[in-house]
Amino acid sequence: MVSQNKNKGIDMLTFTNTKAYSELKELAKKPFNLNQDGAITPKRLEQMVVSAPNWNFLYGFQRVDEAVILALTKLAQELEVHDKMAAMQKGEKINQIIGFESENRAVLHTAMRDIFSEAPLSKEYSDLARIEHAKLKEFCLKLDKEERFTDAILVGIGGSELGPHALYDGLYFFRKPNRRLHFISNIDPDAIAMVKRELDLSKTLVIIVSKSGSTLETATNEAILRKMFNEAWLNPNEHFISITSPKSMMDDKSKYRECFYLFDCVGGRYSSTSMVGALPLAFACGYEVLLDLLKGAHEMDLHALEPDPKKNLPLLSALLRMWNRNFLQLPTIAIIPYAQVLARFPAHLQQCDMESNGKSIDKMGKRLDYSSGAVIWGEPGTSAQHSFFQLIHQGTDIIPLEFIGLKNCQGGLDFDIQGTTSQEKLVSNLFAQALSLATGRSSENPNKRFEGNRPSSIFLSEKLTPRSLGSLLALYEHTVAYQGFIWGINSFDQEGVQLGKVLADQFMKAAHSIKAGKPDPSYPVANTLFEMLKRLK
C-alpha cells in the first residue's frame, strides 16, 4: 500500500477512503449494546485492558466488540499513524499545511523530556533541553542557599498557565512546605489584585512566559507587576525571570534575573515539560520531583511508539474516541478525575485537545467532510455526580466519559469508616458510575428509568506520583496527536486564536481614540459598542 506521493510528500490516503472506514460505518449501524443481558461480564472486563507505564486502560464499558477493535486497528495501520508518531518524535516538520503558508516546524515537546537517553530521538533539541536543565539545576541550588523566596508568580496565558497549573495542583503533596506558586493569565486586573493580597513581594519571584516576548496579556500584566515592585522599593530585575525564545525582546539579562528558553518546536499547550512547567515546578517541589515527572512522561513517549494498536494505550484511546465521534456521532467527551488534586486537569485537556484538533481543513488545505475534534470538559468526581451527572444518565444526548481513578490517595489521610476507607468509597463510586451508565435500569416509572448503553473508559493507576502524573500528561498528549494523524489534520498550530487578537487590537485603538475625544471612523462597530459602554450606570 502506498500512502504518500513520494515526489510531493503529500498524504494521498485519507480517513474516509480507507477500507477500515467503510467497515466501521457498517459496524456502527448495529454497535455493541452495553445494556443487553450478559453484556458486561468479568471475562469482557479482564480482556479489554491495556497496560502502559504507570497506567492501565479499561475499555470494557465502551460500545465495541472484537470486530470493531479489529477494524479500528486496521484503520490505524492503513493510515500508518505509528510511523507518523515516530516521525514526530524524530523531529520531522509535521506542523504544516501543504501548499499554504504555515508554521512549517518540527513538533518536539517529547525532546524536552528525552534527556535521560544516551541516544535521544532528536539529539539537537534534547541537547538544548539538557543545557536548560543544567541552568535550572544551578538556579534551584542558588535559591535554596538564599532561603529568601517563598512564593513565585507564573505569568502566562493559555498553555503557559493551564498545564503548569494542573501539574502544580497534581503534585500538591510533593510541594516543599515553604514554597507556593500563584498563577496570573487573565488580563483582568482583578487577577493580579487577588494574587497580590497573598504575597510579601520581597519574598516573591515573578516568572514571565512568552515565546515571542510580546504577548499582549502577558506584557500588560508584567508592566503592572513591575510597577508594584517599584512602588514597594524593590528592584524588579532581581525578582523577575523570563521564559522565552532565544533572542526575543525578553531574552535580556539586564531586565531579568535569569532567562530560560522555550523553543519554536514546542507549542504552548505542549510546553508543560519544557522550562515553562519545569522552572515553576522545580521551585515549588524541588528539582528531583521534576525529574521524576519528566521520566514518567518519557516512559509514555516510548510506549506511544508501540506498533501494535491494541497494545498502544494512547493510540487505542484515540481510536475509541474516534469510534464515538465519527461513527456513533457523539460530539463531546467528559473527563472525570476521581482525584481532587486533578481538579484542574480537565481544563488543561480542554486546551490541549480543542486547540489541537478543532480544525475544519486537512493538511492539504481541503475542507473536511467529517467531524474532527470533540468538545472536552469535566470536573472531579464525586462532586460531579451531584452536579451534571443527571444529564449524563438521563439526558437526551449521550456523552462518553473518561474516568481517571487511583487505588491509593496521595496525602495518606485515609481511614476505615463503616467497613471501607474513603479512597475505597471514592473508587467504588467511579466503578458504579461506569457500570450504571452502561447497563442502566428498567422501571415502569419513566422518571426512574435509565436507558444505559452510555460508553465510558477508565484510566487506573496505583497512586498519583510525579512519575505517574508525567505519564498521564503524555498519555493525553499522544491521544490528541494520534487523533490528528488519523483525521489528517494539523494538530500543532492554532490559527483560530489569531483572528480575535487582531480584532481586539482594533477595539483597543477605538477605545483610545474615544478617550482622547477623537473617535476614529475606521472602527464604527467598536465606536458604537464603547459609546454604549460609557452610558452604562
CATH number at residue 61: 3.40.50.10490
Q: Which of 361-365, 386-390, 465-469, 522-526 has the lowest mean pLDDT?
A: 522-526
Catalytic site residue from 25, 176, 407, 501:
501
| 288-299 tens-digit pLDDT | 999 999 999 999
Nearest to 268 by CA among 343, 210, 213: 210
463 and 368 part of one domain = yes
* pLDDT-wise least confident of 395-409, 485-499, 519-533: 519-533
Residues 163 and 196 in one domain: yes
Dihedral sign of CA atoms 328, 309, 436, 333 in order: negative
Predicted local confidence at residue 231, as pLDDT: 97
Task: Provide the pLDDT confidence category of residue 274 given band limits of 50, 70 and 90.
Answer: very high
What number is the average pLDDT over the span 104-115?
97
Residue 496 pLDDT class (50, 70, 90 cuts)? confident
The mean pLDDT value for 87-108 works out to 95
Write the pLDDT tens digit of every residue in 234-256: 999 999 999 999 999 999 999 99
Q: For this structure, is 478 an active site residue?
A: no
Asked, for residue 124, whether it belongs to a domain, the answer is no
Same domain, 276 and 319: no
User: Catalytic pick from 6, 43, 145, 386?
Assistant: 386
Tell how strand 401-406 and strand 375-377 pair up.
unpaired
Rounded to whole angstroms, how far apart are CA atoms 497 and 495? 5
For 63, which DSSP code?
A: S
> Is position 18 within any domain?
no
Residues of the domain holding 320? 31-91+304-409+457-490
Instruction: Tell me: do 166 and 282 sit in the same domain.
Output: yes
Residues 480 and 530 in one domain: no
In a domain, 380, yes or no: yes
DSSP H helices in 155-312: 159-170, 189-196, 216-231, 275-285, 287-303
Look up 386 and say whether it is catalytic: yes
Averaged confidence pLDDT in the chain: 94
Domain boundary among the residues 232, 266, 292 is at 292
Confidence at 331, pLDDT banded by 50, 70, 90: very high
C-alpha dihedral sign at 250, 251, 252, 253: positive
Share of the chain above pLDDT 90, in %: 86
Same domain, 171 and 87: no
Q: Is residue 1 one of the residues assigned to a domain?
A: no
343 located within any domain: yes
Question: Between helices 466-487 and 313-322, what is the axis angle to 10°?
Answer: 50
3-state percent breakdown (helix, strand, coil) of the chain, nearest 5: 50, 15, 40
Domain identity same for 207 and 255: yes
- Do 202 and 319 lie in one domain? The reply is no
Residue 10 has pLDDT above 50, yes or no: no
**Structural domains of the chain, count:** 3
Predicted confidence (pLDDT) at residue 497 exceeds the cutoff of 80: no
Q: Cis peptide leading into 382, omega within 30 of 0?
A: yes
Q: Specify whether 339 is located in the same domain as 463.
A: yes
| 355 in active site | yes
| Residue indicated by cell numbers 490505524 | 76
pTM of the model: 0.95
pLDDT at 529: 86
| Shared domain check, 485 and 349 | yes
Residue 273 maps to a domain? yes
Catalytic residue among 78, 299, 355, 477: 355
The predicted pLDDT at position 8 comes to 41
Q: Is residue 170 a part of any domain in this protein? A: yes
The CB density around residue 447, as the number of other CB atoms within 10 Å, is: 6
> Does residue 154 share a domain with residue 223?
yes
Asked if residue 332 and residue 396 are part of one domain, the reply reads: yes
Q: 57 in a domain, yes or no?
A: yes
